[in-house]
Each structure stands twice: as structure tokens, then as C-alpha cells.
Structure 1
């Protein structure tokens, strides 16, 4: 099988302090790659001129675009403008800058929320743009779809070896636990932990508890990114998930058990559920020799321990 990016290639990881970027940085470093990083204070990726100048100077062999504005259902539905505009600006800046700097390889990370709200399950990559999006995260999804189209356009017009991946719901050490902006799994960890500390007898979870989701540990996504950088050079984006899902109610029970909360769990159906189900077909990435390695129960426990050791660490 072709190796498009063997170590010790130099890779710029954009967004290296986030959940995904930090996991990718750990993985590539461990595998012998030379990883380049810049903090937001050193390089604002929304500044196209500064980004292009950095990429021309640094000339890495590849870029992993993990930088993004991300958030949970509440943040997406109440503040859609920055989720649209910041992500569009970052993507345009980095992808265009990489092309003009002559960087031969780039991996753009999208999101499974770009698929239609009622896509056939499990969702294959060709479901993209086949139906209406989930309204609560439409702005973020459209920004990510634009990134996928940008990648495909650079491939078709310039023959660029740029590729895209579509991760499912992610979690792990370094996640965002802010109650106002976090995704469901870290939000549940924080809520059940706070309830345990306060000795509360009841915790209310948003929605009906019936939507089904799959969850992938960030370290598993990082290993998938390495596989894609080395073995994949196709036009279509590639799904990355674990191949199994569960209800939000089941997830809440598992998180409560991991945290040690033993009170009652109730649900608030007046709050939005989001997409009814979102399970990815991962046959493409499996065919490249990749498989997830972190079981959900183990990953939840590890994530909780990591947060307890540094609860105020920003994502």
C-alpha cells in the first residue's frame, strides 16, 4: 500500500491545543513525525495574510487542519454566526495558504453533523447534501460542508493531494467541560460530577433521551488521521467512527456510573434532541486497516480522571 507521508515528515497541526489537535500531535510525534505548532497568540488562523506567510516560511510536508470553533447544541443554536464565520475564515485561510505555499499534503477534518438530519443509517459518505440539515447546528454544518467542497475543488482544479475526514462525536482528555459550550459527553461528566459533589438526588438531562449517537475517543481519531495521511488520496471524504451507537439515556447512565453519581436521572423533553440518529458507515477507513481501540467505558473513565486532575484546563 502507498505511503504518501512516511515519518519523519514535517506536519503542521493547526489547532494543536484543542481536543483533536492535541491528540493528533501526540500520535504523530510518537510515530516519528516532526510536528510544527503555533498558538493563537502566535498565529491567528483567521488572518489569511499571516497564515499564508507562515506556511511559506515553514514549508511543512503536510497540514492537519484541526482548528475550528466547536460547541454543543446550546452554543450552536444560540450563537450560529461565529460558528459559521470563524470556521469559514479559518478554512479559507489555511487551505488556500497551503496551496499557494506549495504544501503537497493536507487533511481537513469535517464533522458528521454535515449529514442530513434524516440520513439513512448507517450513514455513508455519499449521503452528503442529499437532504435538509439539523436546524440546531446548520451554521456550523454549512461551514464544514464548504471546507469539504474547497478540498475537493483544489483536488479537481490543481491536482492537490488534499483529503477530508468526517469524524463522529468525539471526546477525551482535553475536552471542553464548560456548561454553556460543551458537547454532550463532557457536559454530562460535569453535570453528574457537580451533582455528586453537591449531594443532589436528581439530575435533569436535555431532551427525551431517545436520540442515538456514537462516540469516538480522540486518540482513535488521531490514529485514523495518521492512516489517512499515509494511505488515502481519494476525492471523497472518509467517515471516522466506532461503528456502534447508543441512546443518550444509556450514555447518561454510563457517565453517571463512571462519575459515581447514584441519584435519579430525568429528561426534559422541552429541550431540543437534535438529529434522531447519527451512526457512520466506517467501511472505507476499515478497508485501509484502521479500527478503533478505546472502549467507551474505559474512555469515559479516562476522560473523567483527566478532567479531575486539571478541571480548569481550556480545550
Structure 2
């Protein structure tokens, strides 16, 4: 991986800048001294509108694009809004990647999700395991859309010589997370549930599933650091997993959340709710070999996420 010639005035377009990942990337770029970070809200640029996206990219001519925009949600939202998840994510990535190519953008980074890997994957999950088995049914449409984004990048690289990189983060949490209990991911849902149970003086709070699945959690600012690290070093190789390399059970996670929040009740597991994939731990050897590793321990990250959570304000 050759070091890329960095110009802090390069125009860098970050999509999804109001979301958890996009906002973290913007924070990281600004902290590093980049002076020309470009963002557009949904009202300013509808990423589902192909003509508008292509026109914007043709006019703006960014030097680099981080594709952090996506329709995201937890198990319930993924399962309930299957058509929305596959259609919107396919359109967002196709409009941006093809539009970038038409505008002559040589380099970009597409952010996917670890749910792209088969449900019953050997652990830890290597990048080479992609497309070697069946997906988890509850988020299959979202996963298929993200796989399509990876293949779009690979195809434009092969056919047109572009340098479109794909990175696959593990489960993320942190500032600007979604705390809506109807469609949030497990960690923010647990934080809000524990906080509200504490305020009500409850003696218990409910955790979906059996508590036995294992998950890996990465603080979102660590992901942003990894993305900018790869950008600055001109990485243009194959798919890269981004994680911390360790996992915990949902039960252990729930107990840590209780400790951080200060809720002293007990956990009740709702076995009528789905567990999802039994285990999902990424092999981060490729990224470690490139010289990067996560820095935020899980408990500290949860403390920081809880401190910034909007339901506490």
C-alpha cells in the first residue's frame, strides 16, 4: 500500500453526513485539518434521484467520496421493510458509484456491513468467505444490496481502472446512533431500555432473544479513523473488514449496559423474538497487517455513547 499524496484542500464528499458513520467521518477529517469537506442533506440532494446525483457529481467534481449513506435498521426494521431496504440501498450506491465514474472521480470508499457474510460462517469471518453460503434471512435484502455495492466497485475497478474500495464494518455504536426502539440496533436499544427502566424504577428490563448470540462492537469514531487511515495511505486493494477482533454475548453486553447506566434490576429474555445470526466476529488480520487497530474498549465506548445519547438531553 503506497502512501497517497495528501492535499488537505482536496474536495472530499461525505454522503450520509448526518448519520452515525458519516458524521464520524466528517469529524475525523476536520480534526485532521481537511478544509474542503463537502456534504449535502437529503433535502439538498436526494441520493435516490439518479439525475440529481449525476448532475451534482458532474458539477462538484470531488477528489474523493466516502459512501456512508444508507437505509439502515435493526432486525425488526430489516425484516419488516424488506423492499425498502433492498431498493433504496441499491439505488443509493448505484447512483453514487456510476455517477462518480461518469464525473471522473478516480477514488472512493464504499461502506458496507458485516451482514454480507453467510449466516453460518466460520469464525472469525475472513473477507474471502463472501458468497460462500446462505445469508441471514432477517436482513437478506439489505445484505444483498451491500454485496451488490461491493461488486459494483470491483467491476468499475476491473473494467475502467478505478480505485473504488469497499470496507466492511462490524456492529457500530456511538454518537448520532439511532435510539428508536422500533428500528434501532441492539446496543442503542439496550441503552435506552435500561435508562428508561431506571427512570421508572423498574425491577427488570427485556432483552430480545436468548442472550446467547455473540456480537462484535466497534465505536464509530474508530471506524472513521480506519477509513481516513486507508484513504490517506492510498489503499486500493480488495475488501477490508473493520472491527476490533473480539466479541461478547448479548447477555454480557446487556450486563455491561446495565452497569454503565446504573440500572440494578434483572434481565428478562424474550425468546419469542429472533436471535439473528448466532455469531458474527470479523477477522481483522488484513487491516492489522496494514497497520491499523481499534483503540476504544467496549465499556469506555458505551460510556461515551450513553453520555451523548439524545434521550438523556
The DSSP-based 3-state class of the residue aligned with 1:175 is: coil
Tell whether 2:28 aligns with 1:27.
yes
| 1:38 correspondence with 2:13 | no
Aligned residues: 311
**8 Å contact kept, 2:2–2:235:** no
Assess if the C-alpha contact under 8 Å between 1:2 and 1:230 holds in 2: no
Relative to the length of structure 1, the TM-score reads 0.96
1:118 partner SS: coil
Aligned: 1:269 with 2:280: no
Q: 2:252 aligns with which of 250, 253, 260?
A: 250
Match of 1:150 in 2: 152
Partner of 2:82: 80
Alignment of 1:233-244 (within 5 A): 233-244=235-246
Residue 215 in structure 1 maps to residue 221 in structure 2:
no
Match of 2:305 among 290, 303, 308: 303
State how far apart, in whole Å, the 2-side matches of 1:112 and 1:37 are.
Answer: 26
Length-normalised TM-score, structure 2 = 0.97
Q: Structure 2 CA distance, aligned partners of 1:250 and 1:156?
A: 44
Partners of 2:192 and 2:311 within 8 A in 1: no
Q: Equivalents in 2 of 1:120, 1:301: separation in Å?
A: 31
CA contact (8 A) 1:68 1:87 kept: yes
Structure 2 SS opposite 1:311: helix
- 1:111-155 per-residue CA deviation (whole Å, 9 max, x = no partner) reads 000000011000000000000000010010000000000000000
3-state secondary structure, aligned to 2:311: coil
Distance 2:82 2:262 in 1: 35
Partner of 1:123: 125
Deviation of 1:287 after TM superposition, in Å, equals 1.3
Give the match for residue 2 of structure 1: 2
1:106 to 105, 108, 115: 108
Contact 1:163 1:234 in 2 (8 A): yes
What is the Cα deviation at residue 288 of structure 1?
Answer: 1.4
2:138 aligns with 136
* Alpha-carbon RMSD: 1.2
Is residue 125–residue 238 contact of structure 1 (8 Å, CA) maintained in 2?
A: yes
Shift of 1:286: 1.0
1:187 is matched with: 189
Q: CA deviation at 1:82?
A: 0.8
Q: Distance in 1 between matches of 2:81 and 2:137?
A: 13
> Any gaps of 5 or more consecutive residues in structure 1?
none
CA contact 1:155–1:235 (8 Å) conserved in 2: no
Query: Retained in 1: the 8 A contact 2:174–2:220?
Result: yes
Secondary structure, in 3 states, of the residue corresponding to 1:108? strand
Any gaps of 5 or more consecutive residues in structure 2?
none
CA deviations 1:137-182 (Å, max 9, x no partner) are 0010000000000000000000001100000000001100000010
Q: What is the CA–CA distance in structure 2 between the aligned matches of 1:95 and 1:282, rounded to whole Å?
A: 26
1:264 Cα offset (Å): 0.8
How far apart, CA to CA, are the structure 2 residues paired with 1:89 and 1:235?
24
Alignment of 1:32-71 (within 5 A): 32-33=33-34, 34-71=36-73
- Does the aligned pair in 2 maintain the 1:76–1:83 contact within 8 Å? yes
Structure 1 residues 112 and 230: CA distance shift in structure 2, 3 A: same
Report the CA distance shift for 1:190/1:197 in structure 2 as closer, same or farther (over 3 A). Answer: same
